Structure 1
Amino acid sequence: MLIQTQSPTLHHLLSHFSKPISLSPYPHFFSSTKSLKKLNFKLSNKTPLLKTSFQAIKCSVSSVSELTTQTNVLVKPSPAEVCRTIMELSSSGTLSTVTQEGWPLGTGVQFAVDAEGTPILCLNASNHQFLNQNSSSLLVQLEQRGSRTLQCMLQGGLNKPEDKIVLKKLHSIWERKFENEVNEDLIYIMSVERVLQVRDLKEDGIWVTSSEYRSAIPDPLRDFAEQIVNEVNMNQMEDFERICNIYLDTGFQVTDANLISIDRLGFDVHIRSPQNEIFEARIPFPREVSDWKGVKSSFNCMSQHAWEVDKGYVQPDFEKSKVLKQIR
């Protein structure tokens, strides 16, 4: 695709991330709100588009259509990946079982996970109803913007590791997660048999097998995704609304847009119609990304192309996303 110049749109996206992002131990909060103000990628109103010669840039926007039409190519993470990401970002959930009297019983617990997503729990004598249970569940929820709550429920049995080497490894994982010591005698693990992934509280869930869950990889953007979401929604709404208007086949002019979540394959948005209806939609990235550099490149590329299409300099060379789900 030939264009005349590269617009400054999103030019400074994530430019502050010249070094790995330093987050607090809690992935839902930022280490500094001041740093967010530096992540400015506003579009200049003085783009010298007609005063420069044509230049070709490596911006394969057409690959968006490849993501949406090729067989077996994902446009969003699999349910197993979502579950692994939820478990990595979370630290507490509800552990449930059935007592000997036949009553369901649930309690709040903290947990960490190992490299395969196996939950590691610290249970004491007051949790004796749960110990060595073959049928337990762990419900974990992750709240996102737009009143959306992702959740996964792991089913399996609780076991007490006896191997000293294994216990030492589990102790190390727990200490890294919570930055405090734990009595190894209180450590239990859940042997995951299957997982129910629910994308939102109002939707049906999807069952994931234990092998799918263990082999899935958490999203590589998970540790800084929320920081990008907040930056876009706080400071870049004009550019983002243009992207939504160009990359979505809505049949109406988007009057408001909010970035809900972002992952390696694209991002989820909530958009508002002129009739004040709210829709949820998915916009794939031109190509899969795995780090902040990939996010920056993809957003710059999409914003550049959206600006040119909006000004009438080029025609869209990709297939627009057509799936809209009305939520209000």
Structure 2
Amino acid sequence: MSEPTQSRPTEPDDAERARTLLAATSSALLSTIALDPPGTPFGSVVAHAGDDAGRPLLCLSDLAEHSRNLAADGRASLLVTDVGVGDPLDRARATLLGVVTRLDGAAAAAALERYRAAHPHAGFTGFHDFRMYRLDVTAVRFVGGFARMSWVDAAAYAAARPDPLLAHRDGILDHMNSDHADALVDISRVLGGQPDAESALMTGVDRYGFDVHVTGPGGAGATARIPFGATADTPGEVRDALVRMARHARPVEE
């Protein structure tokens, strides 16, 4: 007997969302414990990359205040936030807590390679006073917007993976909204629980499904989450899932 559809994930969990957010961003707020005034939280903007376990990699100058702070006390946090539009308090963000250590030898070389791949124009990485650091994550606080928040433990965060559609997300949204607006309306009516939808805009997509904002009679708006039913890890798999959904929502008449 096949697995019931309702038992499959319909959206990413918060560990996946946090991993995706780190992968989607290139800068963050690093908070360290200041030497002067002693014990004061000190925030600074840094550029980051990530390793396979989602640990942030930083290239920091010996002359920076945060580097001096970390040399005395490695405890720190890194805040990454969605750069979307609208109310900033309704955007996703994640605070990664842990201990920052300076890397040496092969570990530093591997981290530098990843950092340069993420920041190919960062010429300062070759300067003699810049070193590679890594934040070893002990916990994550994820906030998905108003009334959505959770603590994610380090093991769950490390085991999760960024959404495989991240690099293709904007292209999928543009294509569906520009070329298949009618199909989105049909799918929203039949599969999204929005029978009165008159227009639909795809606002998000991931390997489990997609989000739409629909407009109904009189301009009334609503949002819906519509799962694919099976994971779609590539643009081709997303296309196949959406074609199946569109056919189901609007069967070809005999």
Question: What's the TM-score bracket when you normalise by the shorter of the two chains?
Answer: 0.7 to 0.9
Q: Secondary structure at the match of 1:223?
A: helix
- Asked if the contact 2:193/2:224 (under 8 Å) is kept, the reply is no
Question: Which structure 1 segments of 5+ residues have no match?
Answer: 1-62, 315-328
Alignment of 1:169 onto 2:110: yes
Q: Which residue of 1 aligns with 2:141?
A: 196
What is the identity, as a one-letter code, of the residue corresponding to 2:70?
A: L
Q: Which residue of 1 aligns with 2:16?
A: 81
Q: Secondary structure at the match of 2:230?
A: coil
Matched length = 242
**Correspondence for 2:243 among 300, 311, 318:** 300
Assess, with a 3 A threshold, how the Cα gap between structure 1 residues 146 and 277 changes in structure 2: closer, same or farther. farther
What is the identity, as a one-letter code, of the residue corresponding to 2:169?
A: A
- Asked if the contact 2:57/2:133 (under 8 Å) is kept, the reply is yes
Alignment of 1:126 onto 2:64: yes
- Asked if the contact 2:142/2:151 (under 8 Å) is kept, the reply is yes
Q: Secondary structure at the match of 1:186?
A: strand
Identity of aligned residues (%): 26
- The residue correspondences of 1:43-62 to structure 2 (distance < 5 A) are none
Q: Which residue of 2 aligns with 1:96?
A: 31
Superposed displacement of residue 235, structure 1: 2.8
Q: Secondary structure at the match of 1:199?
A: strand
Superposed displacement of residue 134, structure 1: 3.2
CA distance in 2: counterparts of 1:254 and 1:235, whole angstroms: 18
**Correspondence for 1:238 among 174, 182, 191:** 182
More helix by share: 2
RMSD: 2.4
- Asked if the contact 2:173/2:203 (under 8 Å) is kept, the reply is yes
1:188-218 CA distances to partner (integer Å, 9 max, x unpaired)?
1111111111112x23311111111111111
Superposed displacement of residue 282, structure 1: 0.8
Superposed displacement of residue 144, structure 1: 4.3
Alignment of 1:66 onto 2:4: yes
- Asked if the contact 2:10/2:229 (under 8 Å) is kept, the reply is no
Q: Which residue of 2 aligns with 1:25?
A: none
What is the identity, as a one-letter code, of the residue corresponding to 2:115?
A: W
- Asked if the contact 1:130/1:158 (under 8 Å) is kept, the reply is no
What is the identity, as a one-letter code, of the residue corresponding to 1:174?
A: Y
Assess, with a 3 A threshold, how the Cα gap between structure 1 residues 289 and 249 changes in structure 2: closer, same or farther. same
Superposed displacement of residue 262, structure 1: 0.7
Q: Which residue of 2 aligns with 1:223?
A: 167
CA distance in 2: counterparts of 1:266 and 1:146, whole angstroms: 23
Q: Which residue of 1 aligns with 2:50?
A: 113
**Correspondence for 2:149 among 189, 195, 205:** 205
CA distance in 1: counterparts of 2:69 and 2:78, whole angstroms: 11
- Asked if the contact 1:145/1:261 (under 8 Å) is kept, the reply is no
CA distance in 1: counterparts of 2:225 and 2:52, whole angstroms: 29
Query: Normalization by structure 1: what TM-score?
Result: 0.68
Alignment of 1:153 onto 2:95: yes
- Asked if the contact 2:77/2:95 (under 8 Å) is kept, the reply is yes
Query: Normalization by structure 2: what TM-score?
Result: 0.86
CA distance in 2: counterparts of 1:144 and 1:240, whole angstroms: 22
What is the identity, as a one-letter code, of the residue corresponding to 1:287?
A: A
What is the identity, as a one-letter code, of the residue corresponding to 2:215?
A: R
1:49-103 CA distances to partner (integer Å, 9 max, x unpaired)?
xxxxxxxxxxxxxx9x933x22xx3111111111111111211111113424343
- The residue correspondences of 1:33-44 to structure 2 (distance < 5 A) are none
Q: Which residue of 2 aligns with 1:265?
A: 208
Q: Secondary structure at the match of 2:213?
A: strand
